[in-house]
Amino acid sequence: MFSFGSIEVKELGLPPKYKSIVQWKNKNNSCWLDTLLTIIVFSVNIRAAINRNMQELALFNRLSTLYDQCQKRHSDTSTADTNVVVEHDIYNQLDFARSYVLNQLRQKLPSLSPGDHESCFEMFSNILKLGPLSKLFSVTLRWEFECDECQYKKARRVTTEITSFPSTTPDFHPLNASFHRSCFTCSAQNQLMTMVMERIPPCLMLHFEQGLPHNRFKVLDFGIQGHLYSVTAAVQYINKPFNHFIVWIRDCKANKWLCCDDLNPVSSWQSRPPKIPPGEIHMVLW
């Protein structure tokens, strides 16, 4: 009988690059969890962190190892005659691994119930703490505010795993990241609150309540403190006709994208960038 705990903890290679990739199938509104797990198994930086600390990050090591094994089996099956039994077993193993992670989450969050449509943004930090992976995403930044009307100024330093923007300005960029809000003292509207990053982690995740002003992800790549940060994943949030999350994975070296949608669990890499409606861009990973 298959046991998640019996998977050997070993050094991970790079994320799978097979032409066809098999994903988790949606089960009981699991798209939020499937999206977050997909981000983890495809992140080169997360895999490097797992390899540096395999025992403490054993859960994610086993998850990635199983995922890689499933992709290899799927690739072997795809090149031969379709083997329905093998494909069924692959989906069962992916489902078993997802259930194991969900049970770990429920131990920390007793109110979490299978079938609930959770938020990727709200659950992201909880997933990281299972590892823990929080340090890999921990960014220290300053929120700077200045009112053009009354000249009131305010600065606040915070450390967080994911930074949320209630809105964005038309010229938004990670190095020019602002949103409008009312003044804290005179209530003047449309004053700028700006994010200034001080300590940048290996992985940077931003959340956008109302999406981004555009979907040109390549122009969001940036360099800071001697490091280059490229967009590696984008979470799409669709709320019509029902709430649903999809994640787009970017292979920066090959300049290809993979649409990971658990309603269509087999996908292929594509050369064209995703045409996500800007308002549906929910989270972006660098």
pLDDT per residue rounded down to tens, the chain (286 residues)? 678 888 999 999 999 999 999 999 999 999 999 999 999 999 999 999 999 999 999 999 999 999 999 999 999 876 555 578 888 999 999 999 999 999 999 999 999 987 788 899 999 999 999 988 999 999 999 999 999 999 999 999 999 999 999 999 999 999 999 999 999 999 999 999 999 999 999 999 999 999 999 999 999 999 999 999 999 999 999 998 889 999 999 999 999 999 999 999 999 999 999 999 999 999 999 9
Give the torsion sign (CA, 133, 15, 34, 159).
positive
Per the CB < 8 A criterion, the answer to whether 223 and 173 are in contact is no
Q: How are beta strands 205-208 and 163-165 bridged, if at all?
A: parallel
Query: What CA–CA distance (Å, rounded) separates 101 from 98?
Result: 5
Q: Does domain 17-285 have CATH number 3.90.70.10?
A: yes
* Helix intervals (H) in the chain: 31-42, 44-52, 58-79, 84-108, 120-128, 134-137
pLDDT of residue 80: 54
Query: What CA–CA distance (Å, rounded) separates 9 from 53?
Result: 11
pLDDT of residue 1: 60
Catalogue the E-assigned strands of 182-240.
191-199, 205-208, 222-224, 227-229, 233-238
Name the residue ranges covered by the structural domains of the chain. Answer: 17-285
pLDDT of residue 83: 78
pLDDT of residue 116: 81
Residues, the chain, total? 286
* Beta-ladder partners of 20: 268
pLDDT of residue 68: 98
pLDDT of residue 284: 98
Residue 91 tokens read as: 């989906």
pLDDT of residue 82: 55
